[in-house]
Amino acid sequence: MAGSAVPAILLAQGGGHDHVLDIGVNFGPLALRVALLVAIPVVAGFALLRGFLAEPDRRGIAAVIACAGGAVVLELMLSGGLALPVRVVPLLLALPAAALYVALSRDPRFAPAVGWARRCAPWVFWPLGVLAAAQFAQAWLAGGGTDRTETLLHTGVVLALVAMAWFAVSRPRRAGTGIGVQLGAVALAMALIVGAGQATVLRDADSVPDVASLVPQK
């Protein structure tokens, strides 16, 4: 939606960069939702199929992690808030970035650290996965109204995506640990798809500020 009628937006940067943000175009959050609903099946599909296919190369794993990280950012923009302190959010973005580095790093100086990170990846995956599952369980089982459910689902989706980023780089030493992580990732992937879909449709189309609805108003 071209935006000649879109007002200039005050960008509150909290500093000397404060200025009126002149964009001149506003097309609403639909594109973000479409991007999210493309990225999440990529991540979930990877988790579901990894056990049946050959191990992907570095670029394939990096692409999955990039999808997960990008989906986290999209979720942050599309959610009205998370059931987490906001100061945790930079950490949740740093974790996929670290996973991406682990996936792509070829620097021999950091090879021992990268190998260690890959072996420890399940210990990042499991806590985040359990936290995500707890958010989904609360949303689906505890009730509490649409807003509460939506917030819990968005939180669960964000945590699950970060967990998936570390699942992608995980290479446990023991076969049993690997199978356990794989099964956990499959379960989390299915919850992720359902949770993301439900969170997306629960969000009121008009609840994003300053965006005119595409649906005619009565």
Rule CB under 8 A: which residues touch another protein? 8-23, 25-29, 31-32, 73, 76-82, 86-87, 89-90, 93, 208-211
Q: Determine contact, residues 29/76, Cβ cutoff 8 Å.
A: no
215: exposed, middle or buried (Cβ count in 10 Å: 0-12, 13-18, 19+): exposed
Of 81 and 144, the one with the shorter C-beta distance to another protein is: 81
At its nearest, how many Å lie between another protein and the CB of residue 29?
Answer: 4
Of 76 and 120, the one with the shorter C-beta distance to another protein is: 76
Helix axes 58-78 and 89-104, enclosed angle (nearest 10):
170
Of 137 and 212, the one with the shorter C-beta distance to another protein is: 212
Of 103 and 181, the one with the shorter C-beta distance to another protein is: 103
Residue 144 in tokens:
């509490």
At its nearest, how many Å lie between another protein and the CB of residue 201?
Answer: 16
| Of 131, 144, 148, residue with least CA distance to 191 | 131
- Containing 72, the helix (H) or strand (E) segment is helix 58-78
At its nearest, how many Å lie between another protein and the CB of residue 73?
Answer: 7
At its nearest, how many Å lie between another protein and the CB of residue 68?
Answer: 16
